[in-house]
Amino acid sequence: MKKIELKIQCRSCGGTGIYVGIGERDGAAIVCHTCNGTGCEDYYFEYTPFTKRKKKEGIKRVYKDGMGYCIAPKLLVFKGVGTIDMAKEGVSYAEFLEGKMPEHIKTLGCPMQADQGTCHEIKGFIEECDKLNGGYLNMIADCKNHPNKAECWDRFDKQK
């Protein structure tokens, strides 16, 4: 365990050294009790230096994400999606420990469910989603184009 001591701007008074609360009015202030009027406070940060990725017992498979669904490494039935053999998706834990990373489970959901941040970064991607849906999309799960999610994945993979 390592410890770092930092002098930081006081989190209570914002670095002013004074505090104005419910009891101080019409221009009155009190000396900040957190920093005793200095405007700064000592902050102690404790951490364990990283040496290597640790192993976690009981893990069989690793997935990139679950897209909001509960997942397990077995045959599962997903409402509105169908049956997916999750034991064949993702990567084995041994493969993951060797450095192999899992891909998105494209049959489970669309790019917006898997990686909304990247979808927003791709110029015109969201606008095309709205167009395919027939208007502004409030809930991703309600997208009318969901049965054609493979087309959306093609568009996503070509543009990212």
- Counting beta carbons within 10 angstroms of the beta carbon of residue 99, is it exposed (0 to 12), middle (13 to 18) or buried (19 or more)? exposed
**In sequence order, which ranges of the chain are alpha helices (DSSP H)?**
93-97, 111-114, 116-121, 125-133, 149-159
- Confidence bin at 105 (pLDDT 50/70/90): very high
Q: Are residues 1 and 9 in contact, defined by beta-carbon separation less than 8 angstroms?
A: no
**Residue 76, CB half-sphere, CA atoms under 13 Å: how many?**
17
Q: Which residues pair with 40 in a beta bridge?
A: 9
- Among the listed residues 153, 147, 158, 160, the one whose alpha carbon sits nearest the alpha carbon of residue 117: 160
- Model confidence over 127-152: pLDDT tens digits? 999 888 888 877 887 888 888 899 99
Higher pLDDT, 103 or 140: 103
- Model confidence over 2-53: pLDDT tens digits? 999 999 999 999 999 999 988 999 999 999 999 999 999 999 999 999 999 9
